[in-house]
Structures are given as C-alpha cells and as structure tokens.
Structure 1
Amino acid sequence: MPRILTYNVHRCLGTDGRLSPSRIADVIAAYEPDVVALQELDVGRLRTGGIDQAHAIAQALGMHVHFHASLRVVEEEYGNAILTHRPSRLVKAEALPGWIRRPDLEPRGALWASVQIGGTEVQVINTHLGLRRHERLAQIDTLLGPHWLGQPACRDPVILVGDFNATPRSRAYQRLASHLSDAQAQSGLSRPRATFPSRLPMLRIDHVFVSRSIRVLRVETVRTPLARIASDHLPLLVEFQIAHGKGHKPSLAHAQE
C-alpha cells in the first residue's frame, strides 16, 4: 500500500546541535514512503553550509524533488518540498498571504504536485503555515479557495499535508477538518499521535488531511531514536488505499470523520 510521510526537518539541524541532511534521509528511508513532504529546508544558505538540502535528501532516497522557496534572500532559499520516486509533475508553487498588520512575519508558501500512484493521479499539497492565528486563517482561506483546493484540477483523491502550526482545538484546524478528513481521526487511533517537540512530543501540529476516496489504513509517528534527535519534529507517516470512482472534487462539504 502507498505511504506518504510529512516531516518538518528544521533545516536538518538536530536537537543535538548537529547539522545532517543524511541523517534526515536515513530516518525517512527506514519507512520506504512513496511520497515525502518536507518543510523548513535550506537551499544554498550560509548558515547550513550552502548545501541544497532538498536535492541532497532526494538523491539519498533515490527520489526526484519539487521545491518551493517561501523565502529568498539573494541566492539563499528556504522552503518546502515534495519528493517521490513515482511519476509526478509540479502543478503549482506559490506564496500564501500573511497578516496585513504584521508584514514582518516569515513568508509562507505551498506547493502542489500531481503524483501517479497505482494508475491514479493523486493531488498532493504541502504547506507550512504561520505561527499567528490571523495569518493561519488567511492562509487556510487561500488553500480552500479557487486557486488551490477549489481549483477544477484539484480533483479527488487529494492529500493536504504539512506543518500547520495548529492543534486540533484551533479554528485553523477545525476549518480544514470540516472540508477534508484528518488521517489520524479516520484511522481510528484510540489516542492521536503528537509530533512536536521530538524528544517529548506533546503537540499535534503536523497533519495529513485526505479527501473522500482515500482510505487511511495506518498512521504512525516515527519515534525511532534517530528521529528523536534528527529534527525538532517527528515525521508523520500515513499508509492509505485509493478507492475506485476517482475524479470527483475533493468535496469541500466533507465533514470530519
């Protein structure tokens, strides 16, 4: 069964202070995902040795990569990526709105790739939302709007993943969960798995949301000793199955399951 993994890699800086893209790749490789969504990647930045972390991790995994820079300063970039060994194409990669009262906040973005899985085109959107409630709500409005999930090309099956900086009690999470299913809720776990901070996870802010044709089979937070130190977040892995009768809109009236 196909697997997708979302992982905020914290520019590959571990909780032990060590910088290591290869360690991040090792954490991921142990679970053999088909699609990987990464947040907080440095590309060509002095602070992380000028490495293209997106391509370094993809190369180590034998995957190709779609990268979007949320932040650019001269030749330095910082952003999110979708990696896969499956046939794929980048559909869209753009900035998300901030909060008009706080133009100094970190820029945020999202990218959308269409990935061929078992003869079906799965629309995968990866994002990393802001830390402030007002900016998160504006960003979610955009993602639910006509240029992203509301776009005709964004047809079921759809998977929206990333670091949302939003717990299940937040308005931001609840807005998303009223349109798509939280994979953890759908999986029937008696106790949802937190992902942050990695050493002692208490917050559930990394999520996988799925449209109605995707049946979640298993959800796991990767809690290996290596994962606990490779980043300040734990990866979230979802194993799923695609139901027949694809090709519908992702159903923005789909209630949380």
Structure 2
Amino acid sequence: MKSIINSLLAITALSSWFTDVAQAELPQEIRIVTYNIHHGEGTDGKLDLERIAAVINAEKPDLVGLNEVDQGVRRSQGLDEPAVLAKLTGMNYVFEKNIDHDGGKYGNAVLSRLPIVRHENHKLPSDYEGEQRGVLEVEVGDKGESLLFLCTHLDYRPDDHERLASIETIESLMADSDGQPVILVGDLNATPESEVMETFAKSWGRSNSEPVATFPAAKPEKQIDYILFRPAAEWEVVEYRVLDEGVASDHRGMMAVLRRIE
C-alpha cells in the first residue's frame, strides 16, 4: 500500500477525476460491475486496494458502481480510495460522501471508461439517527447520446420501510428522465423475493431472473447486490455472473453485459 500512496501523492483529494477517454459514443454493449468493497478490507483483514482493482480489471468494465468507499479515513490509512482505484484501473471516477467518518468521508463511487457529462448525489430518506444513505447519479456518454448510471447502498435493517421510501425517492428522480436509458447498481440489502425487489420490478429490469448469491463473500448464501436497468424493454441481458473472488471484500462483485435494443 505504501507504493500506492507514493505514486498518488500528486493527486489531490477531489470528489471527481476525469481522464482523457477516446471513446465518446455509447457502445452497443455495456459491461457493468457492481461491488461493495468494504473500504478495501478483505475477509483476511488486510486493506488491499490493488486486490480490489485486480478484480475490477479482470472484467474490463465500462462502468463500475462501488459501495462503502473511504476518502481520507483513518481506518484505511487516510487513502483517497476513489482516486487510487481510478489510477489503478485507468478509469474516470466520481465520489460523493454520504457521511463524515473517522476523520474522512464515506460513500459511493463510480468508475467509468466513458466520458462523464455530469454527476449529482441525492440524499435518501433516513428514519433514524444513523447512517445517511444516498444515490449517486452519473450521466455518461456525450450530450448527443448518454445514459444515467445510478449507484446506491440502501439501509440494512430488517424492516423494509426505509428501503421502500428510498425507492420512492429514486422513482421521483427518474420521473424527468424522459425515457433516457438508466442503469442502477448497488448493495440494496434486499433479497430477490422481498417487497423491495418486487417494487423495483414494477419499473426496472434485472440482470438475473434467478437469484445468485453475493453475500457473504467467503460462502455466499443470498443475493443483496444487483444490476437493474430501465426502460426494461430497451435492454437485453447478454451475460451476468457473480465474480469468483471471495477474499478482497466481504461481498462478491457482480457483473453483467447489457445490450441496448434499438
């Protein structure tokens, strides 16, 4: 990790970093990864962002949604984790905090091989004095042709109330999208048969029609991480799978290849 720190001393702790990307038009097929990285700490207790980056790079994704990301937090050696991962993957990035934590910031991040047009973080409903949740909205492509990529991490408690309220907020945000293609990824803390996922299914397609286990990483027993898309009729799922890596984080990553139907 020291080598990473030294190589990134010149990178300032900004919320976003846009690199030069040759590809401006949206590809017909888009490779997506969603990954709750547990601030880079694996099931072996080691903080290793190079390991996280290796998992991502193996999939050659166009877009990556990351949950539980630290920026300048003591427990993760004060690293600017989004900047480190952007450097290690060669991708653009956006990070937005949802809470201050342990001397730094904690939230969601997006890595993109596509040009980033704009980004905005939206707070989600919070029912109690605890962790503020958010949904990070990133528009990628160019002004002529773009899509919205949303990354979120919903409440973990057994009661679905806050998660359902969060869906209402997300639906409100999407009301003005005017049919624009949208992909939503993240740790939704809900199993496929839950009311939460049934509610999402009313307006979103899902990469996997049958449940696939993503958590806990060492021996996955349930799916709580998802790749969703809308309008559902305008996307075709080419491929999806859970990533075969159970040490780098406490979640398994998930990937999907989505093809736009014209």
CA deviations on 1:35-55 (whole Å, 9 max, x unpaired) are 000000010001110001111
TM-score (norm 1): 0.85
Alpha-carbon separation, structure 1, partners of 2:205 and 2:216? 24
Aligned positions, number = 229
1:48 equivalent in alignment to 2:48: no
Equivalences for residues 244-255 of structure 1 within 5 A: 244=262
Aligned to 1:140: 167
- Of 198, 201, 205, which residue of structure 2 is paired with 1:177? 201
Alpha-carbon separation, structure 2, partners of 1:116 and 1:68? 20
Aligned to 2:243: 222
Shift of 1:91: 3.3
Gaps of 5+ in 1: 186-190, 245-257
Alpha-carbon separation, structure 1, partners of 2:139 and 2:199? 24
TM-score (norm 2): 0.83
Whether the aligned pair in 2 keeps the contact of 1:70 and 1:109 (CA below 8 Å) is yes
Whether the aligned pair in 2 keeps the contact of 1:71 and 1:78 (CA below 8 Å) is yes
Q: Which amino acid aligns with 2:259?
A: Q
- Of 109, 117, 126, which residue of structure 1 is paired with 2:134? 109
Q: Which amino acid aligns with 2:196?
A: A
Aligned to 2:179: 155
Equivalences for residues 51-200 of structure 1 within 5 A: 51-73=79-101, 76-99=104-127, 102-103=128-129, 105-116=130-141, 120-132=145-157, 133-145=160-172, 148-150=173-175, 152-153=176-177, 155-185=179-209, 191-200=210-219
Aligned to 1:250: none
Equivalences for residues 200-215 of structure 1 within 5 A: 200-211=219-230, 212=232, 213-215=234-236
- What secondary structure does 1:2 align onto? strand
Over 3 Å counting, the alpha-carbon distance change for 1:154 and 1:53 in structure 2 is farther
- What secondary structure does 1:135 align onto? helix
1:237 equivalent in alignment to 2:262: no
CA deviations on 1:182-220 (whole Å, 9 max, x unpaired) are 1101xxxxx532100111111110011111211111001
- What secondary structure does 1:234 align onto? coil
Alpha-carbon separation, structure 2, partners of 1:79 and 1:10? 11
